């Protein structure tokens, strides 16, 4: 993900802004490929998996149909 | 992508079909025109490009066409981890999300959605990613209704929604439901097939 995506991403639970923590960058030094997006209000952490932010609410995150 | 990867994708991610094509063509035409209008010829070239969200992007086909054929910045989202991986491989900006829940208020000039819309007998639900991509529950609107209830929050003041609806789901019922959520609706494209007619609705405040 591009860091500029943070401008339009919010915590799915309370719609507060997110901060990027423990960021890992790709070879170009710009693409965020790992890390956590952390809600500035409730502190919930959302992982960046292989460059894709997983903004599912925590109760849906583990849900995987057969 | 080797053969087994391809087989996984084909069974776990909805691949583009007639509905995807109709939504892509209609959205490109509308968004392209808006972009041309707003750049106006009088040197308004510094204006930000329109920001477009596709919900439930699946393979990324619709988002990719809008990205390639207009000057919009396109964000593609899906619930399905296989879908977001495929969309990202297409070079799209991708977010794993439940409908519009993790997006900022008023962020988007347009939101596109080709929802799961097939009415499905609960006895025959098959509970895998392809079912999630196709089934709209008993009335076909199990995903459309919560989408309509929430999408208004994330569109800009002049923003629009392009929603694909099938006659199998009931266009009138969807228009009525959209009205209850404060939207006006116009049918801007349709195409008939032997078992259904597909319609693209434009929803606006």
Nearest C-alpha of chain B: how many angstroms from A37? 11
**Residue B55: how many CA atoms within 13 Å on its side-chain side?**
28
| B125 is a domain residue | yes
Alpha helices in chain B (DSSP H): 3-12, 18-39, 61-69, 81-89, 129-134, 144-154, 171-180
Residue A58, H or E segment? helix A58-61
Range of the domain at B24: 13-38+48-204
Residues of chain B whose beta carbon is less than 8 angstroms from a beta carbon of chain A are 51, 75, 79, 81, 84-85, 88, 93-98, 101-105, 107-108, 127-129, 131-132
| B70 is a domain residue | yes
What pLDDT sits at residue B133? 87
> Predicted confidence band at A66 (pLDDT cuts at 50, 70, 90)?
very low
CA distances from B15 to A49, A63, B49, B126, B132 (A): 23, 22, 28, 18, 13
User: Domain segments of chain A: what residues?
Assistant: 3-63
Contacts of A43-48 with CB under 8 Å at 24 or more apart are A44/A11, A44/A13, A45/A21, A46/A11, A46/A18, A46/B102, A48/A1, A48/A23
Q: Tell me if B113 sits within 8 A of B97, measured CB to CB.
A: no
Is residue A20 less than 8 Å (CB to CB) from chain B?
Answer: no
Give the residue from chain A lying closest to B150, CA to CA. A12
Instruction: Give B-chain residues touching A62 at CB under 8 angstroms.
Output: none
Instruction: Give the separation between CA B169 and CA B175, rounded to whole angstroms.
Output: 11
Residue located via tokens 């995987």: A64
Interface of A with B in 26-65 (CB under 8 A): 46, 49-57, 60, 64-65
Nearest C-alpha of chain A: how many angstroms from B37? 24
Structural domains of chain B, count? 1
**Nearest-CB residue to A12 (from B85, B94, B98):** B98
What pLDDT sits at residue B36? 60
**Nearest-CB residue to B102 (from A7, A49, A55):** A55
- Cβ-defined contact of B93 to A1 (cutoff 8 Å): yes
What pLDDT sits at residue B43? 44
- Cβ-defined contact of B128 to A66 (cutoff 8 Å): yes
What is the predicted ipTM?
0.94
Give the residue from chain B lying closest to A4, CA to CA. B93
- Cβ-defined contact of A55 to B96 (cutoff 8 Å): yes
Instruction: Give the separation between CA B114 and CA B56, rounded to whole angstroms.
Output: 7
What pLDDT sits at residue A2? 95
Instruction: Give the separation between CA B191 and CA B193, rounded to whole angstroms.
Output: 7
> What's B140's domain CATH number?
3.40.50.150
Looking at the DSSP bridge assignments, the partners of residue B203 are: B161, B185
Chain length of chain A? 66
Instruction: Give the separation between CA A42 and CA B151, rounded to whole angstroms.
Output: 23
| B56 is a domain residue | yes
What pLDDT sits at residue B124? 72
Instruction: Give B-chain residues touching A11 at CB under 8 angstroms.
Output: 102
Q: Tell me if A32 sits within 8 A of A25, measured CB to CB.
A: yes
- Cβ-defined contact of B84 to A8 (cutoff 8 Å): no
CA distances from B201 to A32, B104, B186, B198 (A): 36, 23, 6, 10
| B68 is a domain residue | yes
Instruction: Give the separation between CA B5 and CA B203, rounded to whole angstroms.
Output: 38
**Nearest-CB residue to A65 (from B51, B101, B127):** B127
| B4 is a domain residue | no
Instruction: Give the separation between CA B194 and CA B31, rounded to whole angstroms.
Output: 30
Counting as low any pLDDT under 70, the low residues of chain B are 1-10, 34-46, 125-126
pLDDT, tens digit (0-9, with 9 covering 90-100), for A10-37: 999 999 999 999 999 999 888 999 999 9
| B7 is a domain residue | no
- Span A48-53, mean pLDDT? 96
Nearest C-alpha of chain A: how many angstroms from B105? 8
């Amino acid at each position: 993900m591009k860091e500029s995506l943070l401008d339009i991403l919010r915590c799915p639970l309370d719609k507060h802004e997110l901060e990027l923590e423990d960021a890992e960058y790709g070879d170009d030094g710009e693409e965020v490929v790992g890390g956590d997006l952390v809600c500035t209000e409730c502190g919930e952490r959302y992982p960046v998996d292989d460059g894709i932010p997983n903004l599912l609410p925590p109760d849906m995150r583990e849900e995987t149909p057969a | 992508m080797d053969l087994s990867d391809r087989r996984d994708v084909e069974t776990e991610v909805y691949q583009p079909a007639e509905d995807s094509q109709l939504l892509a063509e209609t959205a490109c035409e509308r968004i392209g025109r808006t972009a041309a209008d707003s750049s106006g010829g009088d040197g308004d070239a510094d204006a930000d490009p329109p920001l477009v969200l596709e919900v439930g992007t699946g393979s990324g086909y619709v988002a990719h066409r809008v990205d390639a054929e207009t000057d919009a910045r396109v964000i593609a989202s899906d619930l399905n981890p296989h879908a977001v991986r495929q969309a990202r491989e297409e070079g799209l900006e991708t977010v794993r999300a439940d409908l519009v829940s993790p997006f900022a208020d008023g962020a988007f000039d347009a939101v596109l959605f080709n929802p799961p819309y097939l009415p499905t007998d609960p006895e025959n639900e098959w509970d895998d990613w392809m079912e999630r991509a196709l089934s709209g529950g008993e009335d076909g609107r199990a995903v459309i209704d919560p989408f309509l209830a929430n999408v208004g929050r994330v569109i800009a003041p002049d923003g629009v929604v392009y929603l694909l609806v099938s006659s199998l789901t009931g266009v009138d019922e969807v228009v009525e439901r959209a009205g209850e959520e404060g939207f006006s609706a116009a049918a801007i494209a349709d195409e008939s097939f032997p078992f259904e007619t597909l319609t693209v609705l434009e929803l606006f405040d």
